[in-house]
């Protein structure tokens, strides 16, 4: 997306420049020497790895890390040594911004506090790169939209799921008109129960902290479909239930380390066997009571394991979506059914194969036209090679061209969570929920 379109779509008067107003953009460009100043807020596992240690190793020559912030002083101390950026650390965000004057905050806090960090950061003159989900409910989303409009700062949401090369190929094929106008999308994502366990153990299991998997996880999936269809959601109807974890469990303890049921519990997990997780979490519980190995059968888990939704899009397409959270399989099936044919793929979460196959079947099966198979190698790096591409654009060369619009805007971040928020409300009320009216954003028929 070019700069003019970005401003039009976000209402950001100040545009997309990731530079603090206390410094002159012209001077930076002219001298070509000043590195952009970043601060990392939230030094949990995501922060210290992808946006900490890995960022410094792979992009340290392009950026300055000028501050680390976390509300837990012990985790912050560990992060300081582990990341090795050698910059000051803060438990107070305001103090960090005042003293270190970062251009950009990287937000990797718990989902429920993203809005506080984003709003404070923008009000104090920073641009924002935030982890997904943007936030967890429509009220916080509106507060972010309002603050962005007031301040004119830029927000990028790190939807790394847009970047794997085979997904870029899917997007290209759809944009080329291969499948014609898309009537329906079938999209079914499975999470292995050993993976689901990690969500159930932590704040992700509590709806008011992670928005439920409808928001925390499905934000990625709804964003992919919004992006592929180049249209925004109009209405959502959904079902969901919790069948095995939380209060449905046969017994429960305080946490794995102190539990009396370890011998018979299929989800017993010893955090002390993982030195990094122990140092980050178990060793710092006394500061804030954050328990990393909570019982997956604790009573206050109120999210779902199985999720089914139908989403009607502004352009007339309909998405049939499911997120099955308690299976013995990690992976997904996706198909786009268009007026000219069907484009589909089945992708393993932990692939044995080194490539993805996209299969296009022309609509008229009585002609001689054969299905076409597009084979795309997985690239090196996280998420089938998507993460390094996203990081290059964010940290190495922000002016890199983006013909497929892979870099996600604030609007994209809002629209993807609104699908999940509407699904959550639909489950609770038993009725379809409109996207229009949840925030001030009116869904569009065409995004780009
Ligand atoms: N894109 C992806 O594939 C992906 C993968 C993993 C995590 N994430 C996202 O990254 C974020 C962090 O995940 P995590 O697993 O590291 O979580 P975590 O709970 O391990 O870490 C969050 C950290 O934020 C700190 N914190 C909470 N509120 C704060 C505040 N107001 N100010 C400063 N620090 C605060 C906590 O003390 C904790 O150290 C989440 O939003 C998550 O959704 C994205």
| Ligand 1 proximity of 69 Cβ (cutoff 6 Å) | yes
| Ligand 1 proximity of 72 Cβ (cutoff 6 Å) | yes
Q: What is the pLDDT of residue 9?
A: 35
Index of the ligand 1 atom closest to the CA of residue 69:
33
pTM: 0.93
Span 204-223, mean pLDDT? 98
- What are the structure tokens assigned to 443, written together? 């869904």
| Ligand 1 proximity of 46 Cβ (cutoff 6 Å) | yes
| Ligand 1 proximity of 42 Cβ (cutoff 6 Å) | yes
Query: Could you say which of 288, 321, 346 is where a domain stops?
Result: 288
Pairing of strands 355-362, 372-377: antiparallel
143, part of any domain? no
Q: What is the pLDDT of residue 285?
A: 97
Ligand 1 centre and the CA of 70: distance in Å?
10
Q: Which of 44, 55, 210 to mutate to test the pocket of ligand 1 (most atoms within 8 A of CB)?
A: 44
Index of the ligand 1 atom closest to the CA of residue 44:
21
235, part of any domain? yes
Q: Is the pLDDT of residue 364 over 70?
A: yes
Ligand 1 centre and the CA of 244: distance in Å?
26
Q: What is the pLDDT of residue 255?
A: 96
Index of the ligand 1 atom closest to the CA of residue 210:
43
What total of structural domains would you count in the chain? 3
What range does the domain containing 87 cover? 3-131
User: Are residues 42 and 107 in contact, defined by beta-carbon separation less than 8 angstroms?
Assistant: yes
> Is residue 334 located within the same domain as residue 380?
yes
> Is residue 191 located within the same domain as residue 336?
yes
Pairing of strands 233-241, 433-434: antiparallel
The enclosing domain of 59 has a CATH number of 3.40.50.720
> Is residue 376 located within the same domain as residue 268?
no
Ligand 1 centre and the CA of 172: distance in Å?
32
402, part of any domain? yes
441, part of any domain? no
Q: Which of 78, 102, 128, 131 to mutate to test the pocket of ligand 1 (most atoms within 8 A of CB)?
A: 131
User: Are residues 419 and 439 in contact, defined by beta-carbon separation less than 8 angstroms?
Assistant: no
| Ligand 1 proximity of 113 Cβ (cutoff 6 Å) | yes
Index of the ligand 1 atom closest to the CA of residue 158:
1
- CA 321 to chain CA centroid, nearest Å: 18
Q: Is the pLDDT of residue 118 over 70?
A: yes
81, part of any domain? yes
445, part of any domain? no
Q: How many CB atoms lie within 10 A of CB 231?
A: 22
Give the closest residue (by CA) to ligand 1 atom 9: 131
312, part of any domain? yes
| Ligand 1 proximity of 47 Cβ (cutoff 6 Å) | yes
Q: Is the pLDDT of residue 3 over 70?
A: no
Give the closest residue (by CA) to ligand 1 atom 38: 44
Q: What is the pLDDT of residue 366?
A: 63
> Is residue 280 located within the same domain as residue 211?
no
- What are the structure tokens assigned to 206, written together? 């509590």
| Ligand 1 proximity of 212 Cβ (cutoff 6 Å) | no
Span 307-330, mean pLDDT? 96
Q: Is the pLDDT of residue 32 over 80?
A: no
> Is residue 218 located within the same domain as residue 250?
no
- Share above pLDDT 90 across residues of the chain, in percent, rounded to a whole number: 86
- What string of DSSP letters covers 281-329? TGGGHHHH---TTB-TT-TT----SEEEEEEEETTS-EEEEEEEEEES-
Index of the ligand 1 atom closest to the CA of residue 160:
1
Q: With bands split at pLDDT 50, 70 and 90, how would you rate the model's confidence at 369?
A: confident
- Share above pLDDT 70 across residues of the chain, in percent, rounded to a whole number: 92
Q: What is the pLDDT of residue 237?
A: 98
Q: What is the pLDDT of residue 379?
A: 82
Query: Could you say which of 131, 147, 177 is where a domain stops?
Result: 131
Q: Give the C-alpha distances (Å, rounded to integers) separating 221 from 171, 224, 328.
A: 14, 5, 20
Ligand 1 centre and the CA of 364: distance in Å?
48
Query: Could you say which of 288, 322, 356 is where a domain stops?
Result: 288
> Is residue 357 located within the same domain as residue 408?
yes
32, part of any domain? yes
Q: Is the pLDDT of residue 158 over 60?
A: yes
Span 22-27, mean pLDDT? 34
The enclosing domain of 373 has a CATH number of 3.30.360.10
Ligand 1 centre and the CA of 91: distance in Å?
15
Q: Which of 45, 46, 50, 118 to mutate to test the pocket of ligand 1 (most atoms within 8 A of CB)?
A: 46
Q: Is the pLDDT of residue 389 over 80?
A: yes
Torsion of CA 425, 429, 432, 438, to 10 degrees: -40
Q: What is the pLDDT of residue 391?
A: 97
């Amino acid at each position: 997306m070019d700069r003019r379109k970005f401003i039009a779509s976000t209402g950001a008067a100040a545009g997309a420049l990731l530079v603090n107003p206390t410094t002159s953009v012209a001077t930076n460009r002219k001298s070509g020497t000043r590195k952009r100043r970043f601060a990392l807020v939230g030094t949990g596992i995501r922060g210290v790895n992808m946006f900490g240690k890995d960022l410094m190793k792979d992009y340290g020559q392009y950026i300055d890390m000028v501050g680390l912030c976390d509300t837990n002083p012990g985790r912050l101390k560990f992060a300081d040594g582990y990341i090795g950026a050698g910059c000051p650390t803060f438990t107070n965000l305001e103090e960090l911004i005042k003293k270190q004057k970062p251009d950009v905050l990287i937000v990797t806090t718990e989902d429920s506090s993203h809005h506080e960090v984003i709003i404070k950061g923008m009000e104090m003159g920073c641009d924002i790169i935030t982890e997904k989900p943007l936030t967890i409910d429509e009220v916080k989303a509106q507060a972010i939209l309002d603050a962005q409009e007031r301040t004119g700062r830029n927000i990028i949401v790190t939807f790394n799921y847009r970047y794997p090369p085979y997904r870029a190929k899917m997007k290209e094929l759809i944009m080329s008109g291969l499948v014609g106008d898309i009537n329906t999308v079938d999209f079914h994502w499975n999470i292995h129960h050993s993976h689901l366990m990690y969500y159930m153990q932590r704040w992700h299991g509590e709806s008011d902290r992670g928005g439920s998997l409808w928001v925390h996880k499905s934000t990625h999936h709804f964003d992919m479909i919004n992006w592929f269809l180049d249209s925004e959601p109009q209405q959502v109807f959904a079902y969901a239930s919790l069948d095995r974890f939380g209060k449905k469990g046969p017994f429960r303890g305080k946490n794995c380390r102190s539990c009396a049921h370890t011998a018979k519990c299929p989800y017993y997990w010893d955090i002390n066997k993982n030195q990094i997780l122990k140092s980050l979490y178990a060793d710092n519980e006394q500061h804030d009571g954050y328990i990393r190995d909570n019982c997956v059968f604790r009573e206050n888990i109120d999210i779902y394991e199985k999720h089914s939704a139908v989403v009607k899009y502004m352009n007339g397409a309909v998405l049939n979506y499911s997120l099955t959270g308690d299976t013995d399989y990690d992976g997904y099936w996706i198909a786009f059914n268009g007026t000219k044919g069907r484009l589909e793929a089945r992708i393993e979460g932990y692939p044995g194969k080194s490539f993805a196959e996209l299969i296009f079947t022309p609509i008229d099966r009585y002609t001689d036209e054969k299905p076409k198979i597009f084979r795309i190698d997985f690239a090196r790096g996280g998420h089938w090679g998507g993460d390094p591409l996203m990081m290059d654009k964010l940290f190495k060369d922000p002016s890199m061209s983006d013909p497929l619009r892979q870099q996600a805007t604030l609007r994209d971040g809002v629209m993807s969570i609104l699908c999940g928020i509407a699904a959550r409300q639909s489950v609770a009320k038993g009725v379809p929920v409109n996207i229009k009216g949840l925030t001030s954003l009116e869904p569009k028929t065409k995004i780009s």
